[in-house]
């Protein structure tokens, strides 16, 4: 789904993809080079929308390596072009600002800081 669809709860723009034996496949035609999200249905139903993986349909295949909620910081999106650039950007952002961002979240709301530590996608 596109991020704006998730925020608007636009059900018509969502796809539910079943996972069988720990794997799934889904094919679709992206609209240009727009960013999409992969969200776990059980997490979105609990209100954890920001715990998602963003990706661009910029190759024939985009591979996801996914873990359970407690290990979601290990989740990975592999692809070419924009996906690789997004991963590099996120890693650099975390390297430069991660510690300070964590401190700010801790000052604002200690519960959110604990949640954010569990939801981090990239670590340097």
User: Domain residue spans in the chain?
Assistant: 3-119
pLDDT in tens, 15-65: 888 888 988 888 887 777 888 888 887 776 776 655 678 899 887 888 999
Q: Is 61 exposed, middle or buried (0-12, 13-18, 19+ CB in 10 A)?
A: exposed
Cα–Cα distance measured from residue 20 to residue 107, given in angstroms and rounded to the nearest whole number: 42
Residue 2 binned pLDDT confidence (cut-offs 50, 70, 90): low
Tell me the CA distances in angstroms from 106 to 62, 102, 110, 117, 123, one per residue in order: 34, 6, 4, 10, 18
65: enclosing H helix or E strand: strand 63-65
pTM more than 0.85: no
């Amino acid at each position: 789904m596109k991020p704006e669809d998730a925020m608007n709860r636009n059900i018509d723009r969502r796809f539910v993809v079943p996972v069988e034996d720990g794997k799934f496949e889904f094919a679709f035609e992206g609209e240009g080079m727009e960013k999409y999200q992969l969200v776990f249905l059980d997490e979105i139903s609990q209100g954890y929308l920001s715990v998602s993986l963003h990706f661009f349909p910029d190759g024939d295949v985009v591979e996801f390596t996914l873990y359970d909620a407690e290990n979601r910081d290990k989740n990975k999106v592999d692809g070419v072009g924009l996906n690789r650039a997004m991963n590099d950007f996120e890693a650099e952002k975390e390297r430069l600002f991660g510690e300070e961002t964590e401190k700010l979240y801790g000052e604002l709301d200690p519960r959110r800081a604990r949640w954010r530590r569990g939801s981090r996608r990239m670590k340097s």
